[in-house]
């Protein structure tokens, strides 16, 4: 049965006049009884319950904490749900989005038909409305599509409303529509990353991305193994040779009318649909999660389609190499030497360092297609998880000004990234005795940095940055604002970059 598409809307009426099953009211940890005074009639409508739970400490307004009370009198909502927003000084775009997401998940688990989130005073109503709509969309994603019982995750509301009392109605509604589109893009990337590898093979991944691009009005070119051989993409083909599934490389082109001159943003996403590690095989524990090793490619595809739908003013090119990394009889071996499309030779020291190989050929190709500014996204190194855990993505690149641009864009978009250095000494760890480079530096130190240095060898002098989302692409546990599974990491950063070119 087809799932009903929920209705998203923005309104500018007072909280008391919003007729929904559940109205979510964000409360800051350090504001005391302020919401009772700032929201007319809330104290009386809750029959004193809100004041009581705040005074007793039963509801402390810690981030994503909830307290639900029925309301009465002239209030049109059936229930008010206080949602903790943490400390006011810690409020960021990311925090706002995650608060809205937690409201969406709570509404879903309680199977309410309609829900609304109130924008508190002191926040810009338009930008906040977009962020909240984005966050509310997150709860629509269904990670259990292969379960026989489709009711275990509750029912998503048929109607979601963002409430911005006194704001401009047209501006708020436009912002809600924009945020909804961005949230839907993140969900598309999550859905792709959630697919099992026996379903999402390189050919199927290419077909789905091509269909997404066509639906969004984006130019699509799918390169098969014959075309890849003609382009001499030896690194990409080398990774793919151990699998019965042939590789693909998908190019997405967004070229808005009237776009002349200016930067051409090149987005490159790793698309390893399953990664065994190849001959350098991974341990069995956790290998099932390697179906998400194409999360970077999914993020690029979803972002470019969203940029097109949003009518971005800049040209954007997406390049997504798609392979399986398998230990078949023809698989790449440690000690083999491959030649990249750029002519650079690479000695393979570890077949589990395959992502950088396919990205290297893809980065070269993005430049051949005219990209002037590059950003690649990949679940690239376990070392990044060691360095930054699962809270932030690693950011590396050159020159420093471009790296700082990406950092600013990510902060604005609500993605956490943290820069790591690319000192020249790290390049020494990639020296080979028989080729231009080795693909994996010896030892455990600085694995994320040496992987990025490998990629840098293929971008010449163009501004380039690399996002390692190995730790952020997948949530290992259920949280109030995120269930276990794919997160859609980097999608929002890529959309913002494509829309603004970093301005």
* Pairing mode, strands 345-347 and 337-339: antiparallel
Spatial separation of the C-alpha atoms in residues 175 and 456, rounded to whole Å: 38
Per the CB < 8 A criterion, the answer to whether 202 and 323 are in contact is: yes
For residues 295 and 471, what is the distance between their CA atoms, to the nearest angstrom?
11
Give residue for tokens 């379903």: 199
Task: In whole angstroms, give the CA distance from residue 110 to residue 120.
Answer: 24
Strand partners, 479: 482
Residue 484 annotated as catalytic: no
Single out the catalytic residue among 79, 356, 407, 492: 356
Q: Checking DSSP bridges between strand 337-339 and strand 373-378, what pairing results, if any?
A: unpaired
Token pair 């590898």: residue: 197
User: Which among 210, 206, 211, 198 has a CA at the least distance from the CA of 224?
Assistant: 206
* The token pair that represents 4 in the structure block: 């009903």
**How many secondary structure helices (H) and strands (E) does the chain include?**
16, 20
- Structure tokens, 114: 């309609």
For residues 189 and 146, is the Cβ–Cβ distance under 8 A?
Answer: no
Separation between Cα atoms, residue 210 and residue 220, nearest integer Å: 6
- One of 110, 155, 232, 282 is an active-site residue; which one? 282
282 is catalytic: yes
Sheet of 66-70: strand order equals 7-11, 159-163, 114-118, 22-27, 79-84, 66-70
Which token pair is 170? Answer: 């047209």
Q: Which residues are catalytic?
A: 282, 356
């Amino acid at each position: 049965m087809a799932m009903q598409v929920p209705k998203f809307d923005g309104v500018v009426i007072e909280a008391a006049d919003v007729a929904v099953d559940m109205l979510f009211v964000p409360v800051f940890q350090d504001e005391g009884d302020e919401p009772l005074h700032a929201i007319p009639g809330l104290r009386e409508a809750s029959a004193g319950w809100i004041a009581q739970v705040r005074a007793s400490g039963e509801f402390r307004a810690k981030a994503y904490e909830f307290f639900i009370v029925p309301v009465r009198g002239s209030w049109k909502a059936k229930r008010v749900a206080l949602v903790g927003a943490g400390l006011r000084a810690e409020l960021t775009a990311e925090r706002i989005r995650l608060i809205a997401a937690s409201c969406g998940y709570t509404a879903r688990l309680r199977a309410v038909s309609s829900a609304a989130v109130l924008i508190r005073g002191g926040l810009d109503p338009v930008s906040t409305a977009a962020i909240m709509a984005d966050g509310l969309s997150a709860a629509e994603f269904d990670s259990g599509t292969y379960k026989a019982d489709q009711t275990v995750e509750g029912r998503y509301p048929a109607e979601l409303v963002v409430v911005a009392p006194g704001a401009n109605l047209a501006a708020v509604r436009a912002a809600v529509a924009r945020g909804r589109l961005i949230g839907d893009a993140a969900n598309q990337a999550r859905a792709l990353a959630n697919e099992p590898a026996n379903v999402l093979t390189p050919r199927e991944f290419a077909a789905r991305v091509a269909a997404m691009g066509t639906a969004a009005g984006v130019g699509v070119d799918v390169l098969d193994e014959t075309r890849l051989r003609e382009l001499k993409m030896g690194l990409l083909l080398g990774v793919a040779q151990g699998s019965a599934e042939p590789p693909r490389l998908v190019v997405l082109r967004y070229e808005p009318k009237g776009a002349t001159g200016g930067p051409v943003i090149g987005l490159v996403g790793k698309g390893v649909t399953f990664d065994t590690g190849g001959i350098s095989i991974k341990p069995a524990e956790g290998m099932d999660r390697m179906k998400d090793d194409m999360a970077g490619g999914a993020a690029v595809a979803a972002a470019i389609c969203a940029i097109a739908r949003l009518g971005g003013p800049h040209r954007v090119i997406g390049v997504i190499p798609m392979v399986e990394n398998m230990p078949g009889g023809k698989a790449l071996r440690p000690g083999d030497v491959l030649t990249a499309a750029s002519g650079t030779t690479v000695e393979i020291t570890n077949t589990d360092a395959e992502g950088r190989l396919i990205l290297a050929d893809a980065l070269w190709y993005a430049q051949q297609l005219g990209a002037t500014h590059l950003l690649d996204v990949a679940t690239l190194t376990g070392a990044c998880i060691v360095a930054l855990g699962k809270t932030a993505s690693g950011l590396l690149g050159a020159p420093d000004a471009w790296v700082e641009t990406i950092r600013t864009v990510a902060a604005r978009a609500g993605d956490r990234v943290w820069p790591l250095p690319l000192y020249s000494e790290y390049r020494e760890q990639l020296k080979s005795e028989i080729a231009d480079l080795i693909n994996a530096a010896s030892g455990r130190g600085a694995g994320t940095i040496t992987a990025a240095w490998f990629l840098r060898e293929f971008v010449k002098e163009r501004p380039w940055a690399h996002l390692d989302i190995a730790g952020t692409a997948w949530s290992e546990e259920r949280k109030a604002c995120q269930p276990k599974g794919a997160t859609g990491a980097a999608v929002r950063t890529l959309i913002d970059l494509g829309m603004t070119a970093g301005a």
